[in-house]
Amino acid sequence: MSTDNMTNQESSTKRKKIQKIGVFTSGGDAPGMNAAVRAVTRAAIAHKLKVVGIRRGYQGMIEGDFINLKSTDVSGIMHQGGTILKTARSKEFRTPEGREKAYQQLKKAEIDAVVVIGGDGSFTGALVFSQDYDIPFVGIPGTIDNDIYGTDYTIGYDTALNTVVEAVDKIKDTARSHGRIFFVEVMGREAGLLALSSGIACGAEAILIPESSDNGSSLNRFLAKGYKDKETSGIVMVAEGEEAGGAMKIAEQVRKDHPDLDVRVSILGHIQRGGNPSAQDRIAATKMGVAAVDALLDDQKSIMIGLMNNKIVHVPFNKAIKLNHSIDEDLIDIQKVLLTNQ
């Protein structure tokens, strides 16, 4: 029987009662993913469901890398960073042949529904897969960028923000001691919220993000004042996706324009993904994990669990994927006010 015929036949019949669910983490890891896995597992068990952990994301789904999860298997993982289920990117899953393999593995393991913890790329894969095959997917947003539409908050953002702030506070000490300007680059290839929030929290002299058109003028005001008054210590926060080319290229240009300034670059890199999740990340992950199981039992599919005004909401995958999470304009205005008199 062809895949299309098989899919149509299954779609025409009433979906059977869920008895076993799979859970996996996908895309970039984020602190709090383990707390979400724990919540999904224990909530499912509380509803008399069996739980299977899918290791290494969609690639593990294709290869049938499954482990049965009991309540004791997720004991003591809430405080751990990373993900016990591992994560990986899968080019094969982007092909119909790869998704067919994944479907056969899920059916072989008798998995009736799946919870995916990840970002918009992970949700895109889930949406395409659920359109091909009648297996419901529910998503939990896990990304340090906090850039997914339909939720005020994504798992991992708060921890990453605190990691950046702690690191920059230490960099400020050496910047002040040596009279240096540090360009500090943080993650956020397409979204600058992490750079904006951490810059405000650290009292940065300038903040460069993809969403703002005022980047050049704010940086030039600071450099002009610093050059004139010889007050050259300072922090400039840069989102890695800033169109001028990131911290390295911007700093290189500043060295050429202001040769008397002592300019350094610090790229924080993957330390932003690690570390024990904050209390806020643990609580949000737990609320979303329990809500994801409830949604599957309510016959929901192709939705993401979100938090809006601290309340659980359901957001269709197609909206979470296609619509942009706009940056908080109030924060940009605050930044402009604080930097105006430099």
d(CA 122, CA 109): 21
Helix residue ranges, H only, 81-156:
96-108, 120-132
d(CA 24, CA 224): 50
Helix residue ranges, H only, 87-214:
96-108, 120-132, 157-178, 193-202
Q: How many CB atoms lie within 10 A of CB 137?
A: 25
User: Do the beta carbons of residue 69 and residue 41 sit within 8 Å?
Assistant: yes
- 3-class DSSP assignment, residue 30: coil
Residue 88's region, left for phi above 0, alpha for psi from -120 to 50, else beta, is beta
118 and 129 housed in the same domain: yes
Whether this model's pTM surpasses 0.75: yes
- 3-class DSSP assignment, residue 157: helix
Domain membership of residue 334 (yes or no) is no
Confidence of residue 341 (pLDDT cuts 50, 70, 90): low
User: What DSSP element (H or E) covers 11?
Assistant: helix 3-12
Q: How many CB atoms lie within 10 A of CB 94?
A: 13
27 and 140 housed in the same domain: yes
125 and 235 housed in the same domain: no
238 and 295 housed in the same domain: no
Closest C-alpha among 191, 188, 57, 52 to residue 125: 57
Bridge-based pairing state of the strands 50-54 and 66-69: antiparallel
15 and 96 housed in the same domain: yes
104 and 131 housed in the same domain: yes
118 and 199 housed in the same domain: no
User: What pLDDT, in 10s, does the model give residues 126-173?
Assistant: 999 999 998 999 999 999 999 999 999 999 999 999 999 999 999 999
Average pLDDT of the chain to the nearest whole number:
90
pLDDT value at residue 226: 59
More confident residue, 82 or 227: 82
- Number of structural domains found in the chain: 2
Domain membership of residue 340 (yes or no) is no
pLDDT value at residue 36: 98
d(CA 228, CA 102): 63
152 and 163 housed in the same domain: no
More confident residue, 58 or 216: 58
CA 80 from centre of chain: 17
* Catalytic hit among 65, 145, 147, 281: 145
Of 211, 243, 273, the one marking the end of a domain is 273
- 3-class DSSP assignment, residue 68: strand
Domain membership of residue 330 (yes or no) is no
User: Do the beta carbons of residue 275 and residue 222 sit within 8 Å?
Assistant: no
63 and 182 housed in the same domain: no
105 and 220 housed in the same domain: no
- The enclosing domain of 285 has a CATH number of 3.40.50.450
User: Do the beta carbons of residue 34 and residue 78 sit within 8 Å?
Assistant: yes
145 is known as an active-site residue:
yes
Q: Which two tokens stand for residue 49?
A: 């469901």
Contacts 24+ apart (CB under 8 A), 10-16: 10/133, 10/134, 11/134, 15/134, 15/136, 15/299, 16/112
User: Do the beta carbons of residue 36 and residue 26 sit within 8 Å?
Assistant: no
Look up the domain containing 79 and give its range: 3-156+277-322
Integer angstrom CA distances of residue 209 from 155, 161, 218, 238, 243: 21, 15, 12, 6, 8
Q: Which two tokens stand for residue 30?
A: 């984020």
User: What pLDDT, in 10s, does the model give residues 13-52?
Assistant: 445 699 999 999 999 999 999 999 999 999 999 999 999 9
8 and 103 housed in the same domain: yes
Domain membership of residue 196 (yes or no) is yes
pLDDT value at residue 237: 94
- 3-class DSSP assignment, residue 250: helix
Of 256, 273, 290, the one marking the end of a domain is 273
